[in-house]
């Protein structure tokens, strides 16, 4: 096989179009990430936030199932067994009435988590309605609604809460009412700021031009796009509500005996510190602190994950 001339011959088939493969160039190989998936991916890298999340999941499980593991009930008194140090029988010791601190700690977790989550949820509903209307309507309505908020914002919250508790009498419901009466203001401000920013985007104008009514625009266009900062605010509301409940219980305005909350337990432990009954204070104290810590780092992590623009 000797070639007659030195010019290179290129087979004709080399010049055939690539054919079917050409449309694959444009395909996205990796699965597309929604905003939430992307946020979750960022959050997962934040070890501190994830350990906070895991702690909260475990705490929730213990709050629900913890008392089952204990042969004692939350209110069962046993005077001969008062102020016992932690032992195989009473894992966290007993208090001055002989009640089991282990069981009471998980009841305290129920109260704290319930108050925190309820306060955050109610703040959320009032906040998005008030803030949504104020930001969306704009103009004079907005000015008036914001004036009201500015005045409310100037009130010393904990004082108002204390006052409300004195008037309504201490109970779980009144704590939540008192906390939300003062607490929704911050949420409303955040929602309004977000709505003000988003309502001028093109997709809202497009929605309007198709004849969408205001409630639909708020529900379908504005709220989903303001969710990031709102969820962060909710996560950070929970620890402050937990703190407020413990603070009120500590002042004697919270949950009443014989039921337990961490604030009540810490308050009851105060007179016996000098006698060396450290477990009375240690367990409620460590659990309040760790729960608030977990919510705080989770909130911080979610802020970083949901709002990448803010990252320094």
Partner 1 sequence: MAVYIVKRFFMMIATILIIATLTFFLMHSIPGSPFDEERTTNPTIQANLEKYYKLDQPVAVQYVYYLKSIVTFDFGPSIKKPNETVNSLLARGFPISFELGMITILVAVISGVTLGTFAALRHNGFIDYMAMTFAVVGISVPNFVLATLLIQQVAVTWQLLPPATWSSPLHMILPTLALATGPTAIIARLTRASMLEVLTQDYMKMARAKGLTPFRIVVRHALRNALMPVVTIMGTMLAGILTGTFVIEKIFAIPGMGKYFVESINNRDYPVIMGSTVFYSAFLVFMLFLVDIVYGFLDPRIKLHRKDGDV
Residues engaged in binding partner 1 (CB under 8 A): 139, 142-143, 146, 150-151, 154-160, 162-164, 166-167, 239, 243, 246-247, 250-253, 266, 269-270, 273-274, 276, 278, 281, 285, 288-290, 292-293, 296-297, 300, 312
What would the DSSP string read from start to end of 142-156?
A: HHHHHHHHHHHHHS-
Kindly tell me which of 194 and 296 has the beta carbon lying closer to partner 1: 296
Minimum Å distance from CB 108 to partner 1? 13
Minimum Å distance from CB 242 to partner 1? 9
Q: Find out whether 230 and 299 touch, Cβ atoms under 8 Å.
A: no
Minimum Å distance from CB 22 to partner 1? 46
Kindly tell me which of 129 and 290 has the beta carbon lying closer to partner 1: 290
213 to 45, 71, 140, 219, 220: CA distances (angstroms) = 41, 58, 21, 10, 11
Minimum Å distance from CB 285 to partner 1? 4
Kindly tell me which of 164 and 217 has the beta carbon lying closer to partner 1: 164
Kindly tell me which of 182 and 221 has the beta carbon lying closer to partner 1: 182
Minimum Å distance from CB 23 to partner 1? 46
Minimum Å distance from CB 24 to partner 1? 42
Phi first, then psi, for residue 26 (nearest 5°) are -85, -10
Minimum Å distance from CB 39 to partner 1? 21
Q: Which own/partner pairs from 281-289 qualify as long-range (CB within 8 Å, at least 24 positions apart)? A: 283/92, 283/93, 283/101, 283/102, 283/105, 284/105, 284/108, 287/59, 287/105, 287/108, 287/109, 287/262, 288/112, 288/242, 288/243, 288/246, 288/262, 288/263
Which residues on adjacent β-strands are paired with residue 124?
none
In whole angstroms, what is the distance from residue 62 CA to residue 71 CA?
15
* Angle (nearest 5°) at CA 238 between 237 and 240: 65
In whole angstroms, what is the distance from residue 220 CA to residue 208 CA?
12
Kindly tell me which of 160 and 212 has the beta carbon lying closer to partner 1: 160
Rounded to an integer, what is the distance from CA 220 to the centroid of its chain?
Answer: 23
Kindly tell me which of 57 and 206 has the beta carbon lying closer to partner 1: 57
88 to 68, 79, 100: CA distances (angstroms) = 16, 18, 12
Kindly tell me which of 94 and 296 has the beta carbon lying closer to partner 1: 296
């Amino acid at each position: 096989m000797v070639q007659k001339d030195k010019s290179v011959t290129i087979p004709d088939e080399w010049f055939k179009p690539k054919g079917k493969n050409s449309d694959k160039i444009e395909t996205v190989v990796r699965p597309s990430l929604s905003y939430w998936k992307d946020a979750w991916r960022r959050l997962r890298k934040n070890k501190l936030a994830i350990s906070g999340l895991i702690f909260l999941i475990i705490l929730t499980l213990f709050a629900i199932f913890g008392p089952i593991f204990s042969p004692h009930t939350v209110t069962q008194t046993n005077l001969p067994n008062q102020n016992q140090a932690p032992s195989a029988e009473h894992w966290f010791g007993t208090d001055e009435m002989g009640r089991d601190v282990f069981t009471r700690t998980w009841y305290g977790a129920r109260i704290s988590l319930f108050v925190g989550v309820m306060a955050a949820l109610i703040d959320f509903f009032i906040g998005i309605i008030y803030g949504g209307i104020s930001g969306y309507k704009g103009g004079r309505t907005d000015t008036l609604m914001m004036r009201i908020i500015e005045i409310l914002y100037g009130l010393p919250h904990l004082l108002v809460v204390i006052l409300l508790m004195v008037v309504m009498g201490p109970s779980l419901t009144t704590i939540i009412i008192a906390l939300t009466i003062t607490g929704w203001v911050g949420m409303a401000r955040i929602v309004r700021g977000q709505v003000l920013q988003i309502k001028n985007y093109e997709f809202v104008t497009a929605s309007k031009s198709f004849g969408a009514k205001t409630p639909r625009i708020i529900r379908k266009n504005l709220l989903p796009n303001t969710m990031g900062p709102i969820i962060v605010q909710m996560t950070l509301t929970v620890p402050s509500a937990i703190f407020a409940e413990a603070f009120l219980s500590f002042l004697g305005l919270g949950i009443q005996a014989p039921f337990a909350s961490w604030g009540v337990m810490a308050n009851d432990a105060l007179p016996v510190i000098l006698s060396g009954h450290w477990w009375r204070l240690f367990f409620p104290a460590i659990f309040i602190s760790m729960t608030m810590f977990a919510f705080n780092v989770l909130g911080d992590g979610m802020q970083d994950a949901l709002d990448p623009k803010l990252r320094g």
